Amino acid sequence: MLSQVHHHSQQGFNKDQFEQLCAWIDDHIQEQIGWTELMHESGCDHLSIQSSFAKYKATTPMTYIRKRREDFKSVRNQSGSAVQFHSLLTK
C-alpha cells in the first residue's frame, strides 16, 4: 500500500507514487475499483487522486480505469492469458 502518501490535500502525489497506483490498478483490474479502493490504496483523498490523474494522465481516474479494462480485454483476447498485463501494456 502507498500509505506513506497520507493526507496530500489537493496536491496529489509525486510521479513515482502515481505510477505505483497505476501499477496497482493494473494488478487489480479484474476487481471492483472505485473511489474507496483508490483512496485506501493511495492514502490520498478524492481530490488529490483526481488532480494527480489530471496532471499525469490528462483524464479522470474512472475513465482511466475503464480504458485499462478495455486494454486488458484486448490483450487477453490476443494472448489468451491475463498474465503480466501491466508489463505487456507498459513496454
Domain range for 51: 3-89
- In whole angstroms, give the CA distance from residue 77 to residue 52: 31
Amino acid residing at 48: S
Residues whose CB is less than 8 angstroms from the CB of residue 46 and which lie 6 or more positions away in sequence, other chains included: 35, 39
Residues 7, 47 contacting (CB under 8 angstroms): no
- Cβ-proximal residues to 36 (8 Å cutoff; 6+ apart), any chain: none
pLDDT (tens, 9 = 90+) of the chain, 91 residues, equals: 444 444 444 456 789 999 999 999 999 999 999 999 999 999 999 999 999 999 999 999 999 999 999 999 888 777 655 555 555 555 4
Distance from chain centroid for Cα 27:
9
Number of domains in the chain: 1
CB 13 within 8 A of CB 44: yes
Residue carrying C-alpha cell 476487481 = 31
